Structure 1
């Protein structure tokens, strides 16, 4: 997209505000930072326990497994909910966790497993609409709220976590942080280092929820009805 008269517009706007135009801003130095004290000093095991507690509140099933047993854990989730059609995020983590082989075996057993492929374009979304479960990998996990953070990219389309009835997040234990404060810092530090960060970052907390009407909680209004977090001990 081409932007016309940008400099002139900004100069005129600053003039209307009665000040010189600013081209940078200084970060304020706060005297207190209470957000840093929440779970300060907690290790990964303590954060995991907090995540488990929060999952009970947000109607999310939380399982803990190892990388070697991840495939069997996924199969258990699918079999328990009688799921045959699955759409999964792709990318390097499939190989890192051995899921390419797992998916291959499950296809032979009659499951339909589609791995997100940017080359297939709209077909990915159509497949996600029909899938019983969507599998994603959490990039940063907020223990306090039970929130997974997804850097949506060419391997991880947004439809995976939005359209299937069941949302499954594979959570490396190493991604656990106390809360949004640390997640925002991680994203900021990556930007400072010049590491590309997705233009779309999704924060997902359990299944779809709404209490807009008379404060009655309804699950599954505009997204997945069920959610399962699978924490993988990668430490």
Structure 2
């Protein structure tokens, strides 16, 4: 359900009066002569966008693995092993089954002594406890921005944001078809969803690699408020 703005005109008219201005109505959106946001990587193919993403990930200390659905389970297992295994927390997301990961997650991981916890909306406190102690958090990107190396994550009752924040390492699955040039396309996509009445997540996270901060004396520190290591697994899904 869309929110309703009440008494907006009254509020704006009062501000205009206090400023000694005449209230303005029916303002048309300007048409700018230059719109670089629509031209950056405009004609790039998906393969070219993947290349841009890979190059940017070098700058944000993020490893990129490219695979297909047939080899995804093996690729994921390799990344999990490189991160030390032990424990993984994931969303409750049907896409894991779609990508053929059910056997790995539900059968092979327990046999390999890797604890798997799936986000449970009925146990909010337990979710946080499990996210805090998990070695790896695994999520799926809704849209990925090649220019900045940013994964867009939609949270909901089955997709807690703590999965990408609290574990020490992060794995984000990125369907190749979701890769777009930059923030322009993501903002437009979200706006179109809202205008069409489609339900949009109340919390949308833009994740750009592992946690980074250079607030103190411009010295880069990784892992201050999130994962210290991150890997994107790009899935050839086209």
TM-score of the two chains, using structure 2 as the length reference = 0.90
Corresponding residue for residue 53 of structure 2: 51
Counterpart in the other structure of 2:167: 164
Quick one: distance in 1 between partners of 2:46 and 2:6?
50
Cα deviations by residue, 1:80-119 (Å, 9 ceiling, x for unpaired): 1212111011222122112233211112332111111211
| 1:16–1:123 Cα change, 3 Å | same
Change (3 A) 1:176 1:6: closer
Structure-2 residue corresponding to 1:83? 85
Coordinate RMSD, CA, aligned = 2.1
Q: For structure 1, which segment, 88-97 or 194-203, has the greater mean C-alpha deviation from structure 2 after superposition?
A: 88-97
- Where does structure 1 lack aligned partners over 5 or more consecutive residues? none
Question: Does structure 1 residue 141 correspond to structure 2 residue 144?
Answer: yes
- Please state how far the C-alpha of 1:13 moved relative to its aligned partner: 3.5
Q: Give the Cα separation in 1 of the matches to 2:221 and 2:8.
A: 46
Map of 2:44 onto structure 1:
42
Match of 2:72 in 1: 70
Give runs of aligned pairs for residues 1-235 of structure 1, distance below 5 A: 9=11, 12-19=14-21, 26-105=28-107, 106-235=109-238
Q: How many residues align?
A: 233
- Flag the 1:35–1:11 CA change in 2: closer, same or farther, 3 A: closer
SS in 2 for 1:69: helix
> Any gaps of 5 or more consecutive residues in structure 2?
none
1:146-185 Cα deviation digits (max 9, x unpaired): 0001111122111011000001100000010000011111
Secondary structure of 1:68's counterpart equals helix
Q: Using a 3 Å threshold, how does the CA distance of structure 1 residues 35 and 84 change in structure 2: closer, same or farther?
A: same
- C-alpha displacement at 1:26, in angstroms? 3.8
Q: Runs of 4 or more off by more than 3 Å in structure 1?
A: 3-15, 17-26
Output the CA distance in 1 between the equivalents of 2:209 and 2:54: 12
Instruction: Name the SS for the 2:122 alignment partner.
Output: helix
CA distance, structure 1, for counterparts of residue 27 and residue 103 of structure 2: 50
**TM-score, scaled relative to structure 1:** 0.91
State the distance in 2 between where 1:133 and 1:118 align.
19
